[in-house]
Amino acid sequence: MRFTKVTSIDSAHDAEDRLFVMFHGYGNDEYEMIRIMAAIDPEADYISFRGVVERPYLGGDAWYGKDDTDEEIQRQCSAIGDEVVDMLDSTALHNKRVIPIGFSQGGYLAYRLFAEHPEVFDTAVLLSPAFHDPSDADDPDAPSVEESMVLEDVTDSKPKVFLGYGDLDTEVTPERRQRMRHALSTFADLSDKIYEGMRHDVCDKEFADIRRFLQN
């Protein structure tokens, strides 16, 4: 698997500063998340990844195909997450608080990283994330989020997660949004925000809420 990424890390920053690991939405590229991070914290250290699936003719990239099944998407995102964690482990960033942040497809990928590697990530910021975990009705034998987590590394204090959706979002169905909330509630202290009049997008109010969330 080949990754393209843009990295901005200030060598003068304290080793315990935050590092944002960023994943863009469908049809975009690594600069989408750089623009979003500039609105949240222009001084932040980050690694912004480009999707591994190219869109020929249309341009932009993705993390998985729109016609892929939920099972295929979950498997693809888990494989990407394992590769990203291996890359982080090979850098001199061990003391930093590492925070995955993603939009849409990238939001689901950030969620999978956070759920499957709780020993690596401090918290997570999920912006209008897609959701592809199978429900019990889809596959009663599918492993739950709780089973996929490294439970011995999870303390009694639940990790905090920011989750934001627009109330007019038609890309992620209300049923899938609710399933995302339910999955997160099983292991995270959830800051759940709904933005009136926002579609499958981001907004200034959401950025302000994220800044407050990160200060706590």
Domain membership flag for residue 144: no
**How many domains are contained in the chain?**
1
What is the dihedral sign for C-alpha 74, 169, 162, 8? positive
Structural domain includes residue 109? yes
Residue 24 lies in a domain: yes
Q: Is the pLDDT of residue 95 over 80?
A: no
Greatest CA separation found in the chain? 51
Give per-residue pLDDT as tens, 110-136.
Answer: 999 999 999 889 899 999 999 999 875
> For residue 24, what are its two tokens?
């863009």
Residue 43 lies in a domain: yes
**Residue range of the domain that includes 66:** 5-138+152-215
List the one residue out of 91, 96, 131 whose CA is nearest residue 110: 131
Distance CA 145, CA 123 (A): 16
- The CATH number covering residue 35 comes to 3.40.50.1820
Positive or negative torsion for Cα 43, 47, 51, 56:
positive
- The per-residue pLDDT for range 157-202, each reduced to its tens digit, is 889 999 999 999 999 999 999 999 999 999 999 999 999 999 999 9
Q: How confident is the model at residue 23 (pLDDT cuts 50, 70, 90)?
A: very high
Residue 80 inside a domain? The answer is yes
**DSSP H helical segments within the chain, as ranges?**
30-40, 70-89, 105-116, 145-148, 174-185, 204-215
With 50 as the cut, is the pLDDT of residue 143 above it?
no
Q: How confident is the model at residue 98 (pLDDT cuts 50, 70, 90)?
A: very high
With 60 as the cut, is the pLDDT of residue 56 above it?
A: yes
Question: Percent of the chain having pLDDT more than 70?
Answer: 87
pLDDT mean over 59-63: 92
Say how far apart CA 209 and CA 155 lie, in whole Å: 26
Please, what's the b/e burial string for 70-81 (b: 16 or more CB within 10 A of its CB; e: otherwise)?
beebbebbbebb
Average pLDDT of the chain is 88
Assess if residue 128 is contained within a domain.
yes
Question: Looking at the domain assignment, is residue 165 inside a domain?
Answer: yes
